[in-house]
């Protein structure tokens, strides 16, 4: 069975999304406190993040004495795994050393998911490379702040744990999501799968853009049931626990892409001003 989901203004998650990403509120920082490290010793900083934070928490925050240069940033990433090339034509002009993406939030607000990472408006919650085969999806997202573009409290990176989203979903919605995938060529993963006993989601909030889907069942499932399962999922993503990472130069945040959704709050006037927020990103295969 195939169909197309389209968001409606009255869907419950629309208001929840606005409150989480567009309201201007600052979300609480996650515990524990950031690690400390030196940019000149990137391997040691990454090893500490991996050993002390990523396994128990699914994320790590490290404050370095300065932003790393590209060679140091690549060395940091190699401790975690293999950096994935940035091959999309949408970002080619913003890539250095094939794998480092410059995220400068200076573009005008947009609803285009491909342009959102570079715009001043919010970035909707998602798992990275949600339509790619599982083996091609990054395990870790590494973000480093070059310039916060203001006081750092605006345009927060937001993380939402997948376990909390899964727990909030009604059982009938879970039964649909484990059989549901984007209707695209290739080895597209199901929206919900399980790895090592944990729920893992492969999905993005596409805002008003249509989402073409394919569903294998269960028996008796119709398009309305699938669309409702997606509404339940988006409501759980925006309605549960969320933590926000503020930015200072030299701060590095690593997010486990199989344990957290991530997104970004809207930039304030300060963060959208003359000095653009500038992060550098690596996508790391385990």
> pLDDT value at position 128?
97
CA 123 to chain centre: 9
**d(C-alpha 264, C-alpha 259), whole Å:** 17
Give the DSSP per-residue string, 203-224: -B--TTS-EEEEE---TT--HH
Cα 265 to Cα 23: distance, rounded to the nearest angstrom: 8
Mean pLDDT of 260-283: 79
CA distance 143 to 98: 16
Rounded Cα gap, residues 194 and 89, in angstroms: 32
Q: Is it the case that residue 111 has pLDDT exceeding 80?
A: no
pLDDT at 276: 76
Average the pLDDT over each of 91-95, 126-130, 137-141 and give the range with the smallest value.
91-95
Predicted local distance difference test score (pLDDT) of residue 61: 98
Burial of 88 (0-12, 13-18, 19+ CB in 10 A): exposed
State percent of the chain over pLDDT 90. 81
CA–CA distance from 176 to each of 19, 108, 230 (Å)?
A: 27, 37, 9
Domain count for the chain, please give it: 1
Lowest mean pLDDT among 6-20, 37-51, 119-133, 245-259: 119-133
Please say if the pLDDT value at position 218 is more than 70.
no
d(CA 278, CA 197): 36
Q: What is the pLDDT of residue 270?
A: 44
> pLDDT band for position 151 (50/70/90)?
low
Write the DSSP symbol of residue 6: -
User: Is residue 211 classed exposed, middle or buried when 0-12, 13-18 and 19+ CB atoms within 10 A define those classes?
Assistant: middle
The predicted-structure confidence for 167-196, as pLDDT tens digits, reads as follows 999 999 999 999 999 999 999 999 999 999
Pairing of strands 260-264, 82-83: unpaired
Enclosing domain of residue 182: 2-285
pLDDT, one tens digit per residue, over 3-41 is 999 999 999 999 999 999 999 889 999 999 999 999 999
The answer to whether 1 and 183 are in contact (CB under 8 A) is no
Report, as an integer, the average pLDDT of 73-100.
95
pLDDT band with cut points at 50, 70 and 90 for residue 219 = low
Confidence check: pLDDT of 221 > 90:
no
Lowest mean pLDDT among 89-93, 111-115, 139-143, 200-204: 111-115
Q: Is there a contact between 245 and 61 (Cβ–Cβ < 8 Å)?
A: yes
The CATH number of whichever domain residue 198 belongs to comes to 3.60.130.10
CA–CA separation, 229 and 224 (whole Å): 9
Instruction: List the alpha helices (DSSP H) in the chain.
Output: 12-17, 42-49, 55-57, 70-80, 162-168, 171-177, 223-239
Share of the chain above pLDDT 70, in %: 93
**CA–CA dist 125, 81 (Å, integer):** 24
Under DSSP, the state recorded for 124 is E
Whether 264 shows a pLDDT value over 50: the answer reads yes
Q: Give dist(CA 108, CA 28) in Å, integer.
A: 27
Q: How far is CA 98 from CA 64, 104, 281, in A?
A: 24, 17, 11
Mean of the per-residue pLDDT values for the chain? 92
Q: Are 256 and 59 in contact (CB under 8 A)?
A: yes
Average pLDDT in the 279-285 region?
A: 97
pLDDT tier, 275 (very low <50, low <70, confident <90, very high otherwise):
low
Q: Is the pLDDT of residue 273 over 50?
A: no
How does DSSP classify residue 204?
B
Instruction: Kindly indicate the confidence band of residue 217, based on its pLDDT and cuts at 50, 70 and 90.
Output: confident
């Amino acid at each position: 069975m195939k169909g197309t989901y389209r968001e409606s203004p009255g869907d419950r998650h629309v208001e929840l999304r606005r409150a989480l990403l567009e309201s201007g509120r600052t979300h609480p920082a996650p515990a524990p406190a950031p690690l400390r490290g030196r940019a000149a010793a990137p391997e040691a900083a990454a090893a500490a993040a991996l050993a002390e934070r990523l396994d128990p928490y699914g994320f790590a925050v490290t404050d370095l004495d300065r932003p790393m240069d590209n060679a140091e940033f690549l060395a940091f990433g190699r401790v975690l795994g293999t950096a994935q090339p940035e091959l999309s034509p949408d970002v080619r002009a913003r890539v250095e050393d094939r794998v480092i993406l410059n995220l400068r939030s200076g573009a005008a607000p947009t609803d285009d998911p491909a342009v959102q990472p570079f715009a001043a408006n919010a970035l909707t919650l998602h798992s990275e490379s949600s339509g790619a085969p599982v083996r091609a999806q990054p395990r870790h997202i590494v973000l480093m702040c070059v310039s916060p573009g203001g006081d750092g409290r605006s345009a927060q990176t937001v993380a939402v744990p997948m376990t909390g989203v899964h727990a909030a979903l009604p059982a009938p919605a879970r039964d649909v999501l484990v059989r549901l995938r984007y209707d695209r060529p290739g080895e597209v993963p199901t929206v919900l799968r399980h790895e090592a006993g944990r729920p893992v989601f492969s999905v993005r909030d596409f805002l008003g853009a249509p989402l073409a889907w394919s569903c294998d069942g269960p028996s008796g499932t119709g398009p309305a049931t699938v669309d409702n399962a997606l509404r339940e999922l988006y409501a759980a993503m925006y309605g549960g626990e969320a933590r926000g990472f503020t930015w200072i130069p030299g701060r590095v945040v690593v997010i486990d892409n199989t344990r957290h959704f991530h997104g970004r709050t809207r930039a304030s006037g300060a963060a959208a001003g003359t000095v653009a927020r500038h992060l550098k990103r690596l996508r790391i295969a385990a």
